Amino acid sequence: MRFLFICFFLIAQTSFSQTKELRAYASASTELSGKLFNTQTGKFLSEEEIQKLKAETPNFRYEPVYDVAGKVEKYLFNPADPQKVVRRNPALQPKVGELFPEFVFQTVKGKEVTPASLKGKWTLLYFKNSLSTLHQAQFDQLVSDLSEASKEAEIEAIAIFSYDEPIETLLENRPIDGVKNGNGFFHRFHLTSMPTVFLINPTGQIEAKFEGTAPIEFKRYLEK
């Protein structure tokens, strides 16, 4: 009897743990009203049309389009292929030699940052999806190199994270600002490798791009 009770307790604990995990990663349904755009008709779907679509095609898919502030501008829906899975396309990422696309960052240190506000200085944008997968040795080396580089050149560094995480602690007393809840920027710039780092020169052009967890050798570009 005692053995059966222990088995029941362990099964219950496992079930509870799994339920908690599922809840932790659950998200509210997307608000589509006024934002679901029919690519065939060139018009937004009405609330009535959205409800009908949900009833007839419960697992339909749509592509988010983000504005310069990383917020959803609209969702693109193609009735001819309602189940199409839309993936980020690395070929559409910002490229070395081009001007970096427009953006508006609201940083955790209370600043609004735009390409216009960064003109005339070097800019380093460090895109990382989550603190939980941060390569600490690489990041610490980057911070050290930024401190050294700032003695010779005017450089602004911003780390952009996808989620609402306590990045303030990570950036405290370090020469780097941060943006959280920035998932829209990752989609907008089609970033697929973490981290992805862009070095932007004082004219706004992308001078270099770095991917992966190798050391970010940006300082040599500042000497040009």
Cβ–Cβ < 8 Å for 202, 215: no
The dihedral region occupied by 173, where left means phi > 0, alpha psi between -120 and 50, and beta the remainder, is left
Residue 127 belongs to domain spanning = 90-214
State the CATH number of the domain containing residue 152: 3.40.30.10
Q: Tell me, yes or no, whether 123 and 66 share the same domain.
A: no
In a domain, 45, yes or no: yes
Residue that has been written with the tokens 């609201």 in this structure: 106
Q: Mind giving me the DSSP string for 150-171?
A: TTTS-EEEEEEESS---HHHHH
pTM: 0.84
pLDDT in tens, 109-163: 999 999 999 999 999 999 999 999 999 999 999 999 999 999 999 999 999 999 9
Please give the pLDDT value at position 23. 26
Q: Tell me, yes or no, whether 48 and 103 share the same domain.
A: no
Q: Tell me, yes or no, whether 71 and 117 share the same domain.
A: no
Which residues does 92 contact at the CB level (< 8 Å), separation at least 6?
190
* DSSP one-letter code for 62: -
Q: Tell me, yes or no, whether 107 and 56 share the same domain.
A: no
Q: Tell me, yes or no, whether 121 and 97 share the same domain.
A: yes
Q: Tell me, yes or no, whether 63 and 106 share the same domain.
A: no
* DSSP one-letter code for 55: H
Helices (H) and strands (E) in the chain, counts: 6, 11
Q: Tell me, yes or no, whether 73 and 176 share the same domain.
A: no
Cβ–Cβ < 8 Å for 196, 209: yes
Q: Tell me, yes or no, whether 124 and 170 share the same domain.
A: yes
Q: What would the two tokens of residue 63 be?
A: 């592509």
Q: Tell me, yes or no, whether 99 and 150 share the same domain.
A: yes
pLDDT in tens, 29-58: 578 999 999 999 999 999 999 999 999 999
In a domain, 30, yes or no: no
The dihedrals phi and psi of 106, each to the nearest 5 degrees, come to: -100, 110
Nearest Cα to Cα of residue 143 among 121, 159, 154: 159
Q: Tell me, yes or no, whether 42 and 115 share the same domain.
A: no
Q: Tell me, yes or no, whether 139 and 66 share the same domain.
A: no
Please give the pLDDT value at position 5. 39
Q: Tell me, yes or no, whether 95 and 202 share the same domain.
A: yes
H or E stretch at 64: strand 63-66
Return the minimum-mean-pLDDT range out of 6-20, 39-53, 92-106. 6-20
Q: How many domains does the chain divide into? A: 2
In a domain, 179, yes or no: yes
